[in-house]
């Protein structure tokens, strides 16, 4: 629906309400006249004119209301004719009562204001001018018919001025109404567009989504949920009790005890799938909804197996790639060895030994990566542990490490794994440090009840395109690196409920270990 059609539809309903209002008013006026005709006969200058005009006004209103409701053609013309009838009828009623009374004046003002809302600006102005002329010149007609002076001319002039005031107010109201109507229409169209997009997305995905209200009625579901649960697809677009559609699931769910994030397996006679269901609580205004994320359990297992096979294939390819280079160097040195001099043989032997150690390190790191070792966390007090660790494990680098350790910092961590993580991070920082700086920095401090251990160098840092691959196995920017150090460090941190992350800074690279502080 276009905005113009939307506005015309709203205008039509407003006009229909106005037609019903004028029919109600004329009905009340007829009833009042019938009941008070004898007592108030002296208040009417021309009782017969008042009687005939009132009854004619009533019947014309009935016909116009019927036409407006049942014949929706030429609506602007019907509106214009309605207001012309109003002005003529109210003017004749004013003549019959010998001048504008308060009740008729209010009806006149209501007519002018409604005309400003329902008619175009020029037509509304014409209706206003007709009403002004009728009110002013009817005084001359009354004076001519009754031989009275113009004693009500002042009231008629004031009423005419009010006509223009109400016309101006009506025009201002129309402008505001059009603006609000345009905003409302734009928002409704945007809301419909978003609803259609959401519905399209829900229809395309294979995961089932089922939203239940507090009474366990289905509020929203997608076709995948209907297919997995064995529900007819047309229930995806209707609100329906769950116990009628899927009684097995209804009996299994206990809304008083179900926890947010709870997962369970589900089988039903209505469904041919073994389902995996996850429960999520949705907090929306004035109600609590329950979201059930439904997946095919067999398909999930297949996906897990595929991921494992893909990871195994990637790992095997990476290991083969890493071993190929040192193995090629060993083969080449071995071929040159019989035909070399003693000095050359010694150099070649050293090369073979070096490449063999490199292969051994790759194998050991790979075993450490795939071996699922149980962690044995202990309490480590950093201000005592770090200096001793540097003295025992990094004696060759103790002059190149500048430590800033806050006192009384304790954490739970497997000691051997914590040492390995620190060795990897510190040696990596030394390797990439700027030649102009002789030291790296090690900071230990607390922030938001967490311990932060930052290992920072002053080199070139990690390129933006490489940051997403930092903790992947066999990724390294160094020619001689195996690419397993950061991956193992990240795995060790996760095993000890800690987090290893890369922190950007203005100069150099910074790797942060974040874990909870012991109290």
Q: What is the pLDDT of residues 303-347, one digit of tens each?
A: 767 765 665 666 676 667 667 767 887 888 888 878 788 888 888
Give the SS3 label for residue 446. strand
Q: Tell whether the model's pLDDT for residue 149 goes beyond 50.
A: no
Q: Which domains does the chain carry?
A: 3-186 (no CATH), 206-299 (3.30.450.20), 300-370 (1.10.287), 377-516 (3.30.565.10)
Q: Tell whether the model's pLDDT for residue 56 goes beyond 80.
A: yes
Give the total residue count for the chain: 519
Task: Please report the pLDDT score of residue 7 as a whole number.
Answer: 56
Lowest mean pLDDT segment, chosen from 20-29, 203-212, 281-290, 380-389: 281-290
Q: Which H/E stretch holds residue 60?
A: helix 47-70
What's the average model confidence in pLDDT over 129-141? 69
Cβ pair 216, 182 in contact under 8 A: no
Q: What is the pLDDT of residues 457-488, one digit of tens each?
A: 998 888 887 777 777 766 666 545 556 678 88
Q: What is the pLDDT of residues 374-406, one digit of tens each?
A: 678 899 999 999 999 888 888 888 889 999 999
Task: Please report the pLDDT score of residue 464 as a whole number.
Answer: 81
In our burial notation (b when 16+ CB lie closer than 10 A, e otherwise), range 29-38 reads beeebeeeee
Cβ pair 228, 248 in contact under 8 A: no
Q: For 343, phi and psi rounded to 5 degrees?
A: -65, -40
Give the pLDDT band of residue 373 (cuts 50, 70, 90): low
Task: Please report the pLDDT score of residue 3 as a whole number.
Answer: 47
What's the average model confidence in pLDDT over 52-71? 86
Among candidate residues 300, 299, 286, 271, the one with its CA nearest the CA of residue 210: 271
């Amino acid at each position: 629906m276009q905005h113009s059609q939307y506005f015309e539809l709203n205008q039509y309903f407003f006009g229909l309400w106005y037609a019903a209002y004028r029919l109600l008013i004329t009905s009340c006026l007829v009833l009042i006249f019938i009941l008070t005709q004898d007592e108030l006969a002296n208040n009417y200058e021309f009782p017969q004119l008042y009687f005939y005009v009132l009854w004619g006004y009533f019947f014309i209103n009935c016909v116009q209301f019927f036409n407006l409701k049942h014949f929706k053609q030429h609506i602007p013309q019907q509106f214009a004719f309605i207001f012309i009838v109003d002005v003529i009828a109210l003017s004749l009623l004013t003549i019959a009562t010998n001048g504008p009374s308060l009740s008729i004046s209010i009806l006149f003002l209501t007519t002018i204001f409604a005309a400003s809302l329902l008619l175009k600006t020029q037509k509304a102005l014409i209706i206003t001018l007709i009403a002004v002329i009728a009110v002013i010149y009817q005084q001359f007609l009354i004076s001519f018919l009754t031989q009275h002076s113009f004693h009500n001319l002042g009231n008629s002039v004031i009423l005419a001025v009010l006509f223009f005031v109400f016309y101006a107010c009506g025009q201002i109201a129309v402008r505001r109404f059009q603006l609000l109507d345009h905003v409302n229409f734009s928002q409704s169209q945007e809301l419909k567009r978003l609803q259609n997009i959401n519905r399209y997305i829900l229809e395309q995905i294979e995961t089932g989504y089922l939203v239940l209200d507090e009474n366990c009625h289905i509020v929203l579901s997608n076709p995948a949920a209907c297919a997995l649960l064995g529900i007819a697809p047309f229930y995806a677009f209707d609100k329906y009790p769950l116990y009628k559609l899927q009684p097995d699931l209804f009996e299994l769910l206990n809304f008083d005890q179900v926890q947010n994030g709870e997962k369970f397996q589900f089988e039903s006679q209505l469904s041919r799938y073994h389902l995996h269901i996850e429960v999520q609580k949705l907090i929306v205004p004035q109600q609590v909804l329950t979201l059930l994320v439904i997946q095919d359990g067999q398909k999930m297992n297949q996906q897990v197996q595929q991921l494992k096979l893909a990871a195994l294939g990637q790992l095997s390819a990476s290991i083969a790639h890493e071993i190929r280079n040192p193995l090629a160097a060993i083969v080449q040195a071995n071929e040159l060895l019989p035909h070399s001099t003693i000095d050359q043989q010694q150099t070649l032997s050293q090369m073979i030994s070096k490449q063999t150690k490199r292969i051994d390190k790759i194998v050991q790191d790979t075993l450490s990566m795939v071996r699922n070792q149980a962690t044995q966390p202990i309490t480590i007090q950093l201000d005592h542990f770090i200096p001793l660790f540097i003295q025992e494990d990094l004696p060759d680098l103790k002059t190149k490490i500048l430590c800033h350790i806050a006192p009384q910092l304790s954490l739970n961590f497997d000691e051997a794994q914590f040492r390995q993580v620190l060795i990897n991070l510190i040696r990596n920082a030394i390797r990439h440090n700027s030649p102009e700086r002789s030291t790296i920095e090690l900071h230990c401090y607390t922030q938001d009840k967490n311990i932060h251990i930052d290992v920072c160098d002053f080199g070139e840092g990690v390129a933006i395109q490489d940051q997403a691959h930092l903790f992947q196995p066999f990724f390294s920017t160094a020619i001689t690196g195996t690419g397993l150090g950061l991956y193992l460090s990240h795995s060790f941190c996760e095993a000890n409920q800690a987090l290893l992350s890369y922190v950007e800074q203005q100069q150099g690279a910074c790797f942060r270990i974040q874990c909870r502080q012991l109290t």
